[in-house]
Homo-oligomer: A and B are copies of this chain.
Amino acid sequence: MLKKNSAPLSLALSATLAASLVMSTGCSNVFGRETPQRVASEKVLGSWKDNKLKQDILDFVQRVSNPKSKDFVPVEDRIAVFDNDGTLLCEKPAYFQVIFARDSAVARQKDHPEWSEDAAIKPFLTTEDSAIAGLRGKEATRLIAACQSELSAEELQPLAGQWLVDAKHKRFNRPYMQLKYEPMVELLTYLRANGFKTFICSGAGADFIRLYSNSAYGIPAEQVIGSSLKREFVVKDGKSVVVSRPVMHVYNVGPFKPIMIDEHIGKRPLIAVGNSDGDIEMLMYCTDRKGPSLGILLHHDDEVREYKYDTGAEKALQKASERGWKVVSIKDDFQNVFAAEQK
């Protein structure tokens, strides 16, 4: 969450991302919170190709939102959960949080001579993306923990916030936040316009995603569920503060996704959207719901406009065909992948 009235850094960031929000999600109601009053594109899901898959999604949403439908679902149960990296946002060459951690480590290495002796960090002290390509799980956590531990959410904000404004994705030469998938942003907006409450349930760190979730997707900080380091409540310079320690608390993938959804939301999602094997249990938990449900798996099969890879999604693709989850092809189902570049 961006705090509007704090430092100049975050003010600048806030203005930039707020502009992006207005342009892309059209998401604000009388209280500036979800449940948008209009859909951004004049055409519903305008960045999706007009085909059967799109129609199936539209039909499902109408069926569960229409009080006269036999599949009607009361508004309080209209919960949609989205994985983040690779589902709402490009995840190559690595999770953007990992790229931030790497950039941050490179920039701060002079203050941390011990890192050059640390096998878990040293290999990544280079701006060559190849060194961190595909880095995830425990290895990524070590790097992230080195950069983020001892920081409160309030201290992380200006550091990461400035990076989100300044840093650019090397292949696309655009700020990372401009590499969110426009069709997915439209889907979020469309769901909220139909009474859904939209959540992120990600394997990446909740703290980091919360810095941009509202601006980028219209999803407030408190609807972001993610991985976390161990937290501690301490008094620091006379003020109570919650800080992270360099120890993994929850690595929110696989079975931990439904567990964390149960902990945070307390009910099964009506719609779940993911893109990898780490989303299988979340999709099962959704589609094993009594009554209607919709599982969606995004397939990265467009090397021209984005990336093409099945690695880490082989089992999910298999399950999708067994269980009737909708497989969305970036190549065949997305009219646009990213929004037009914003200078």
Contacts and interface: CB of A to CB of B under 8 A. Distances in A.
A74 B32 contact: yes
Contact size range, A: 35 or more
A267 B239 CA distance: 15
A278 interface: no
- Chain A binding surface SS class: mixed
Given A232-B259, A258-B240, A259-B232, A266 B76 contact: no
Interface in A280-324: 281, 284-285, 288, 290-291
Contacts of A265: 221-222
Interface in A231-248: 231-233, 239-242
A221 B266 contact: yes
A264 B266 contact: no
Given A74-B5, A241-B288, A255-B233, A33 B32 contact: no
Interface stretch (A43-51, A206-214, A332-340): A206-214
Interface in A104-147: none
A31, A74, A214: most-surrounded residue (chain B CB, <10 A): A31
Nearest to A280: B240
A224 interface: yes
A136 B277 CA distance: 41
A274 interface: no
Contacts of A263: 206, 228, 231
A33 B31 contact: no
7 contacts: A1-B77, A5-B291, A221-B265, A222-B264, A240-B285, A242-B285, A264-B264
Give the top 6 A-B pairs by smallest Cβ distance, nearest first.
A233-B255, A221-B266, A242-B262, A32-B75, A222-B265, A240-B284
